[in-house]
Structure 1
Amino acid sequence: MSEALINLIATSIAAVVSAFKGLLVPIIFFSLLAMLMRRKKALDDLRRALPEIHLNVKLMLFDAMFIVPMIIILGTFLSELVRDNGLSLLSLDTWSELPGWLTILIAIAIADFVGYWRHRLEHTWVLWPAHAVHHSDTQMTWIAVQRFHPINRFTTFVIDNLALFLLGVPPFAIVANGLVRHYYGAFIHADLPWTYGPLGRIFVSPAMHRWHHATDPRAFDTNFATVFSLWDQMFGTCRVPGPCDVPTGVTDNMKQSLRGQLIYPFTKKAYPQIFGKSEAATEAPAPEQNDVSASARRLEH
């Protein structure tokens, strides 16, 4: 067995271990928060969400085993490509003149701005079939942040991080940005009614992002940012009428299984603009059922 293969397997194992370790604190935090907010209803909410949580964990494990190692290799290649060819717009010396906390804040703001436009691109017919997997969670909880198709993982990583590489952002700030936006992403996926009041004009709230996942057509193509709602405010895509009590999900037939979610972007029914609307899409079940929907939603908007 070659050394490269051994290293790849070791990286996969480390990624799986890291993924589970990374769940420990959020599980404790969100469990306590659910008991505080929902009290006796918290267990009922958990029972309803268990099938979706189970699928989210499966996708997380699949990505950790097979996708994360490739992303690490790709990230190393891209960063070295930019550095070795002098493609960075700013040098590390320039960044070193700033306080560390400010460098991290700038990195988060840049990545969130780029991520806003990348997210809008994911809601076009080209990338929506892969992104629809993330939107297929009908009982959305914080762990929906783990429900991403491998294609979506790659597009998110490349687009968001390439901008930071090209700007010469120091590695510590790139890592900090990844951690902040990931864990804050988990928070805004939580089933919380919070709108943040006036602060909602600056930061994305759980209610704001829940509207982004809502089945209400008025919520389609809104609320794309992860951290700063400023981008949605600036570009006219912000819509937060209040706490979101609308079901989440999508509107074309997508199997609620690991295999079904992985193959969905490679099926004809995922591209109604090219192949026409499938019979399955015409008879799509309601979002709260197990076989939920995907491509018809937002693709017509």
Structure 2
Amino acid sequence: MGIQYFSQVLIFGSFIGLLGWTITNQVGRTQLQVKSREDWLLDGTGLTIQGILIPLLQATLVYWLYQYLLPIQQGYLKLPLILAFVISFVVIDYLYYWNHRLLHTKLLWKVHQVHHTVTQMDVLGTSRNTLWTSLLIVYLWIHTLFLYLLADPTGYLLGVSLTSTLDLWRHSRLIIPANTKLYQFLSPWLILPQDHAWHHCCKIHNYNYGANLKIWDKLHGTYYKSKNMPSIIGIPSSLNLFQKLFFPFS
């Protein structure tokens, strides 16, 4: 219970901190002021689904599904804390890389395109999607599976909370200046906000699929390197608000 509470505090605290930074930052504040009502609705809906509905689904329906499918395997895996963390932060990150690439294929791009309609990088747009896109993301199913199987999920939950925190950060404009030692330390291996911003650029969006680590993009030739933020974010879309919420079921 303690680690679950810590994970929730870390994620929520990071969101509030990044939102506060956006409000106090002149560029960020201007971005919020020019946000359309449609953008506010899409972003608010996405954050509500990711922050409330998905955790509820994980704790109830998906967890119950594993209890039905794997009735005697609950708590079966006894792994050291560090190994459980590595599985969460590294191994699942690789699965997400391929999950993300699948969402960019012709088959699923029309669903994922809603996430790429954000025209400014800010923490509020982190979870912009159709109402049901989260069902296609590996995190919903794989996190619940490991939390069900692990005898001690502490290390795994730490990885989940850190991944979620980094997800919020990489969708923000809180970039680390390239001339700092912190940038020199993090840039070779961690996906930074400027890396993910190029993924949201209309001309470069088939690069930088990774969530935590750059190694997967570098390994598979999908890494685009730039120390700066792109000048234009987002793709044009002819979908109306109802379609952006329910597409293709609209």
TM-score interval, normalised by the smaller of the two chains:
0.7 to 0.9
Q: State the SS of the aligned residue for 1:265.
A: coil
Q: Which moved more, 1:26-35 or 1:244-253?
A: 26-35
Aligned to 2:248: 265
Aligned to 2:4: none
Q: Which amino acid aligns with 2:84?
A: T
Larger Rg: 1
Q: Return closer, same or farther for 1:160/1:221 CA change in 2, 3 Å cut-off.
A: farther
Q: Return closer, same or farther for 1:64/1:214 CA change in 2, 3 Å cut-off.
A: same
For the Cα contact (< 8 Å) 2:119–2:232, is it kept in 1?
Answer: yes
User: Residue 222 of structure 2 is aligned with which of 237, 251, 261?
Assistant: 237
For the Cα contact (< 8 Å) 1:48–1:139, is it kept in 2?
Answer: no
1:168, distance to aligned residue in structure 2 (A): 5.0
1:229, distance to aligned residue in structure 2 (A): 0.9
**How many angstroms apart in 1 are the aligned matches of 2:156 and 2:207?**
27
1:247, distance to aligned residue in structure 2 (A): 1.8
State the TM-score, normalized to the length of structure 2. 0.77
Q: Which amino acid aligns with 2:134?
A: R
Aligned to 2:15: 26
Q: Does 1:172 align with 2:157?
A: no
For the Cα contact (< 8 Å) 1:207–1:242, is it kept in 2?
Answer: yes
Q: Which moved more, 1:228-237 or 1:241-250?
A: 241-250
Deviations 1:225-276 (A, max 9, x none): 1111111111111102231223222233122x3x331222235xxxxxxxxx
Q: Figure out how many residues of one structure are paired with residues of the other and give that number.
A: 236
1:120, distance to aligned residue in structure 2 (A): 0.6
For the Cα contact (< 8 Å) 1:202–1:229, is it kept in 2?
Answer: yes
**How many angstroms apart in 2 are the aligned matches of 1:211 and 1:110?**
24
Q: Which amino acid aligns with 1:161?
A: H
Aligned to 2:115: 134
Q: Does 1:118 align with 2:87?
A: no
Q: Which moved more, 1:199-208 or 1:77-86?
A: 77-86
Over the aligned positions, Cα root-mean-square deviation in angstroms equals 3.3
Q: Return closer, same or farther for 1:71/1:262 CA change in 2, 3 Å cut-off.
A: farther
Aligned to 1:183: 165
Aligned to 1:84: 71
Which structure: greater helix fraction? 1
Aligned to 1:211: 198
Aligned to 1:274: none
State the TM-score, normalized to the length of structure 1. 0.66
1:53, distance to aligned residue in structure 2 (A): 3.8
Q: Does 1:247 align with 2:232?
A: yes
Q: Return closer, same or farther for 1:155/1:173 CA change in 2, 3 Å cut-off.
A: farther
Aligned-residue identity in percent: 20
**How many angstroms apart in 1 are the aligned matches of 2:50 and 2:147?**
23
For the Cα contact (< 8 Å) 2:196–2:208, is it kept in 1?
Answer: yes
**How many angstroms apart in 2 are the aligned matches of 1:166 and 1:236?**
35
Which of the pair has the greater relative contact order for Cα pairs under 8 Å at 6+ separation? 2
Q: Does 1:49 align with 2:32?
A: no
Q: Which moved more, 1:148-157 or 1:113-122?
A: 148-157
For the Cα contact (< 8 Å) 2:10–2:165, is it kept in 1?
Answer: no
Runs of 5+ consecutive residues of structure 1 not aligned to the other structure? 1-18, 268-301
Q: Which moved more, 1:166-175 or 1:184-193?
A: 166-175
1:193-208 correspondence runs (5 A)? 193-194=175-176, 196-197=183-184, 199-208=186-195
